[in-house]
Amino acid sequence: MARKLNLRIWRGDSTDGGLKDVQVDVNEGEVVLDVIHRVQATQMGDLAVRWNCKAGKCGSCSMEINGKPRLACMTQVASFDENETITITPLRAFPIIKDLVADVSFNYKKAMEIPAYEPPKNLAPGEARMEQIDVERSQEFRKCIECFLCQNTCHVIRDHEENKKSFAGPRFFIRIAELDMHPLDILKNRKRTAQEEHGLGMCNITKCCTEVCPEHIRITDNAIIPMKERVVDIKYDPARMFAGLLKREKRN
Amino acid sequence: MSGVFSPTRANIKERTLRTDKWWLEPAITFGVLFSFVIYATFRAFEGANYYKDHLISPFYSPCLSEACVPEATIFGWTPVSAQIFNFALSPALIILIFPLGFRMTCYYYRKAYYRAFWLSPPACAVAEPHTKYTGETRAPLILQNAHRWFFYAGLVFNVFLTYDAIISFKSVEGEWGHMSVGTVVLLVSSTLLWFYSLSCHTCRHTIGGRLKHFSAHPVRYKLWTWVSALNHKHQQFAWYSLAGVAFADIYVRQVATGAWTNFYFF
Amino acid sequence: MTSSVTLERHKYDVLIIGAGGAGLRAAVEAREAGLSVAIICKSLFGKAHTVMAEGGAAASMGNVNDNDSWMVHFRDTMRGGKFLNHYRMAELHAKEAPDRIWELEMWGALFDRTKEGKISQRNFGGHEYPRLAHVGDRTGLEIIRTMQQKIVQLQQKDGREFGDMEAKIKVFAECTITEILKENGKISGAYGYWRETGAEVLFEAPAVVIATGGVGKTFKITSNSWEGTGDGHALALKAGANLVDMEFLQFHPTGMVWPPSVRGILVTESVRGEGGILTNSEGERFMFKYIPDVFKDKYADNEAEADRWYEDQDNNRRPPELLPRDEVARAINSEVKAGRGTEHGGVFLDVSKRIPAEVIKKRLPSMWHQFYELAGVDITKEAMEVGPTCHYVMGGVEVDPDSAAAIGVPGLFAAGEVAGGMHGSNRLGGNSLTDLLVFGRRAGAGAAEYVKNNGANPVSDAAIKSAADRIEAPFSRAGGENSYSLHAELQEVTHNLVGIIRTRVELEKAIEMIADIRARSKNVAVSGGRKFNPGFHLAFDLDNMLLVAESTAKSALLREESRGGHTRDDFPGMNPKWRQLNQIASFDGDKVNIKSQALPAIRKELFDLFDIHELEKYMTPEEIAKGGSN
């Protein structure tokens, strides 16, 4: 049942590194993470890789497989040609730590910059009432497993290191959208700060974040574009411009 | 070097390790859009062959210039001079900015041409060639935020083009109740335009997306769910309607030049 | 080697080991009590096993059925645990669960809603009323994300007050604790290393909360992630705390054993309910051989009748595949041990030959989808290979229910799966998520209270040196054993001998073999450097798993009855005498010792919540006559 599989695995750290060829057994029905584990247990005991649940629910085993940002636990070996060499590298938008492990701390820093949920004053626990149709939009974004594949694939920071300071990235645009659409959140200036502080305007909606999302969250259509439209509401809307409402909106 | 070749990133010399045909989609997009632009430019400047027997090309409708053939105008209404600064202006040039602007600022086309023309990025996880990138934060790209203005204008245009399709139910002699291949072409083209406009992200936002509480606006919520369903197919409508408009223009031109005969069903 | 001059040191009031539901809830509570808090997690922040919980969080809010109350929830929990639960924990849990859920909502959680706009609640096995607050099938993710974001909110508040968001609460991700430190008999801190660099780090703190979750990785087939290596159990043992009832593990009889990409994932009972049959490697539908006498009149003894049952349930007896879980597990276990298992140590479970593909996809959509997407296994076309899978450990650190303080170690607290007592011998689905919240909060409060009454407790250089030496050791050994193969060996032993069905002979053999692996583990050598080296990391995890396995095997040997998550083939059935006893494991520096200890007697007003005839099934006549403790 087992056959041989040719892999090229990136090994190294911030000083240097390169792709190493490895041949390993593979069984029917295995995913790339299984094969990496076999390499680890039999040939490279110190091969660094992150993983946790191995069921597509925690978003730890993010890496690039044949150049595509993917979860190793959700990538079946059978999806490649039998004699194809599979190339596995760490995420390329973030600093390298070692082998397949990249330093994703950027994302945790950004998470701390998004203003937290603010419930209505005087709402006692247990008293909240929300309709299902009002929570559904935000619930879609809360499916996010924080694998950071969207952050990794986004060219705004992948190709431009200098943009990291001013760009929160798709993962946090869905966080902002989630809060702005949260039926009880009362913080008013999320739209403006999304544009002016978190770099929403940097996004040129090329949709790679949506393409790589393992949870199939429609990041661009359901979060980023609606947020851009909400920004237009307060900053560039024709009707409001003519009505001179723009100045008044600034207070929000 | 910034980007994936930054010193802190894993040392990999390839711009991408993708093994699939990632260049195919942008290449096709480039080919199709480029051809359309060339053709549309030629047609816009041609200033002729846009009207024949109650069929008017969508490139020239509404025809508002004094240069328009009288039958193509709306009840002879021609508020725009035929010449501006001694320059003979084709009637198409006056109006094309609106549908062009609508498509240029469309959230789908932006993706398509940023990838295919600007290579920013050419495809996902393929390093782009630019060293600097500021997105849509400053001029001129900040003007993309004008999409809503063009959306409203686009709706007005859809009304005109639907009116054109209705007019085409006339016979050559101007008698109502007839129908030709040209009628079908204009009907399909204007219907696709409605689908394209109604499936637009701005439409989705305006109709209900901007609300915080759907439950308080049941009708708008219902409309929003419909528009959302259409919005799923916005990319398809964008291409179909582009093809529809292009073909409608080609058809009218061919009929106008006499190359094709407009067949009447009844 | 790290000298004490260059050693990275941090000082906090409370140190929390583990960033799952319980750890984060404890962190929030301790910070809100005004203390400085360090949260340590082995993985990235937010990846804890809590994200795997699908069903929901049980809390008697009564949103769907207003007959529900904490008393009903308490009864269900005690019944589920076969009355071996610490009654006080079950009581606190039932009483406080609703508040903990509502609190999450105030922090931004978005649960599914009822028509009235309240939090929706669903039915679940063992719960009398619809009780599980849920978000689709990702409730655990919602809970962990909500608390992660609550911590960010606290950090933003600190940022405004102190100019540094991490001034009072900081997450140390990808950091492993190898030792809990004590001075003068009290907690003084913890020692560990950064996974990223291998560099050592000292945390000084007078209170430590252990919230490290489960032990599943001790077993070969498990639904747990790599983190479930029993770290907290072992750390607590070594720090002088006790583990209670480590023999109780929740196994599911049909987990996937092959292919590896889905190994351990549960195959729900409904697959059998829809017509799935179990066969061995000889193609025999073996369940007919394993119908116990008491079930003879309810279960079909021939294939023809069993097959007719799916069409006509009134005139035929049920297929034996639908026997209770432990019977199915026992049968699978026996077949595999008799050499009739599949090559990967399971049996076949097949629906494909009996039900058309469209029907399977319609009735078992998530099962079909999950295995197809993760492993390319199409259950409409082929048989699954299944066997018992380890899911949850009921046993854990012995704690004081009200403060979550570990018995015997001042300054040490434990909450969540790592703590024992709450679930008795068997946990009800949905009780785990609220367990994390209720006792996570209590641990945070308990630690805060303790710190306020006890000041800092400086760590001595001697303690640092001994902890540092232990980390250095695997690198200085040459040749030696490989941690991956020792881990595999341990899993083989636990799977075969301490698994779902146990006997004296096997347990005794297991204890011997575990001791042998432990002796050899002292020679584990590590290749490569310190930087993010999984082989090095596993060396420490292995040590923890060995202690857990030893505690489980020894407790299981002592408990001569079958109850909940502990089944002894040589002692079938419950024995009321054993219900009065907990098995307490302690560590003497060399081996684990077990002693039996009387279970605290249930309070009278709680005793009175039950029907006396129900209690007679579990309790001795003397206990019934006493009618509770006061």
Q: Pick from A10, A15, A130, A155 the residue to mutate for testing the B interface (most B CBs within 10 Å).
A: A155
B259 touches chain A (CB under 8 A): no
In angstroms, how far is CA A22 from the centroid of its own chain?
29
| CATH placement of domain A105-240 | 1.10.1060.10
Residue C162 lies in a domain: yes
Contact B73, B63 (CB under 8 A): yes
Using CB atoms within 10 Å of the CB of residue A124, give its burial: 0 to 12 exposed, 13 to 18 middle, 19+ buried: exposed
Backbone region of residue C532 per phi and psi (left: phi > 0; alpha: psi in -120 to 50; beta: other values): left
Nearest-CB residue to C259 (from A29, A58, A103)? A29
Residues C374 and C407 in one domain: no
C294 domain-assigned = yes
What are the chain A neighbours of B1 within 8 Å (beta carbons)? Answer: none
CA distances from B261 to A91, B61, B245, B252, C412 (A): 60, 21, 19, 10, 92
Chain C residues within 8 A of A33 when measuring between CB atoms:
261
Please tell me whether residue B214 adopts helix, strand or coil conformation: helix
Sign of the CA dihedral with A37 first, then A41, A47, and A49 last = positive
CATH of the domain at C535: 1.20.58.100
Residue spans per domain, chain B:
18-257
Name the token pair of A16. Answer: 């240097």
Two tokens at A249? 């909106």
Phi, psi of C216 (to 5 degrees): -50, -35
Beta bridge partners of C413: C209, C405
Instruction: Name chain A contacts of B213, Cβ cutoff 8 Å.
Output: 131, 134, 183
Q: Give the Cα separation of B56 and C194 in Å (integer).
A: 73
Identify residue B45 by its one-letter amino acid code: F
Asked if the Cβ–Cβ distance from A142 to C142 is below 8 Å, we say: yes
Q: How far away is chain B from the Cα of A161, in angstroms, using its nearest Cα?
A: 5
- Do residue C13 and residue C156 come from a single domain? yes
Rounded Cα gap, residues C545 and C296, in angstroms: 41
Query: Which of C64, C142, C154, C261 to probe by mutation at the A interface, max A CB count within 10 Å?
Result: C261
Cα–Cα dist C243/C398, whole Å = 5
> Which of A69, A161, A228 lies nearest to residue B3, judging by beta carbons?
A161
pLDDT per residue rounded down to tens, chain B (266 residues): 589 999 999 999 999 999 999 999 999 999 999 999 999 999 999 999 999 999 999 999 999 999 999 999 988 888 888 887 778 889 999 899 999 999 999 999 999 999 999 999 999 999 999 999 999 988 889 889 999 999 999 999 999 999 999 999 999 999 999 999 999 999 999 999 999 999 999 999 999 999 999 999 999 999 999 999 999 999 999 999 999 999 999 999 999 999 999 999 99
| CA-based nearest distance C93→chain A, Å | 17
Residues C105, C191, single domain; the answer is: yes
- On whether residue C132 sits in a domain, the answer given is yes
Q: Do C118 and A76 touch (CB under 8 A)?
A: no
Contact C136 A182 (CB under 8 A): no
Distance CA C392, CA C81 (A): 13
Q: C105 and A179: CB-CB below 8 Å?
A: no
Residues in chain C within 8 Å Cβ distance of A56: 373-374
CB of C409 within 8 Å of a chain A CB? The answer is no
Q: How far is B67 from chain A (nearest CA, A)?
A: 31
Q: pLDDT (tens digit, 9 = 90+) per residue, C345-397?
A: 899 999 898 888 888 887 777 778 888 888 888 899 999 999 989 999 999 99
Residue C116 and residue C199 in one domain: yes
pTM for the structure as a whole: 0.93
What is the dihedral sign for C-alpha A40, A43, A48, A49? negative
Q: Are residues C201 and C294 in the same domain?
A: no
Residue percentage of chain A with pLDDT more than 70: 96
Cβ distance of A52 and C116 shorter than 8 Å? no
For C355, phi then psi, to 5°, come to: -125, 140
Mean pLDDT for all residues in chain A: 93
DSSP assignment letter at B205: I
- Is the Cβ pair C528, A46 closer than 8 Å? yes
Active-site positions of C?
Answer: 252, 272
> Beta strand pairing status for C592-598 and C581-587?
antiparallel
Rounding to the nearest 10 degrees, give the CA dihedral for residues C475, C479, C480, C481. 90
> Which CATH number belongs to the domain containing residue C368 in this structure?
3.90.700.10
Written as one string, the DSSP assignment of C255-284 is EEEESGGGTT-B--THHHHTT-EEE-TT--
The CA distance from B188 to B165, in Å, is 9
Say if the Cβ atoms of B114 and A204 lie within 8 Å.
Answer: yes
Q: In this structure, are C43 and C118 located in the same domain?
A: yes
Fold of A3-102: Ubiquitin-like (UB roll) (3.10.20)
CB C287 within 8 A of CB C347: no
Report how far residue C254's alpha carbon sits from residue C269's, in angstroms, rounded to the nearest whole number: 8
The whole-angstrom separation of Cα C5 and Cα C3 is 5
Q: What is the ipTM of this complex?
A: 0.94
Same domain as C409, residue C326? no
- Any domain includes C385: yes
Q: What is the mean pLDDT of each run of 10 residues along chain C (630 residues)?
A: 73 98 98 98 94 90 96 95 96 98 97 96 87 90 97 97 97 97 97 95 98 95 90 97 96 87 83 87 93 85 90 88 82 90 92 87 80 85 91 96 98 98 92 97 98 94 95 82 92 93 96 96 87 90 96 97 92 93 96 96 94 91 83
Are C485 and C629 members of one domain? no
Q: Which chain B residues in 58-117 lie under 8 Å from chain A, judged by CB atoms? A: 107, 110-111, 114-115
Residue C585 lies in a domain: no
Scanning C216-245 for CB atoms below 8 A from A yields: 225-227
β strands within A96-147, DSSP E:
96-98, 101-102
Between chains, do C46 and A101 touch, taking CB under 8 Å as contact? Answer: no
Question: Cβ of B127 and A158 within 8 Å?
Answer: yes
Secondary structure letter of residue C222 according to DSSP: B
For residue A83, count CB atoms less than 10 angstroms from its CB and return exposed for 0-12, middle for 13-18, buried for 19 or more: exposed
Quick check: helix, strand or coil at residue B196?
helix
DSSP state of C355: S
Residues C385 and C399 in one domain: no
Sign of torsion over alpha carbons A128, A130, A134, A140: positive
Which chain B residues are Cβ-neighbours of A204 within 8 angstroms?
A: 110-111, 114, 120, 135-136, 141
The boundaries of the domain holding residue C482 are: 476-579
Cα atoms in the 13 Å half-sphere on the side-chain side of C529? 10
Each domain of chain A, given as residue ranges in start order, spans: 3-102, 105-240
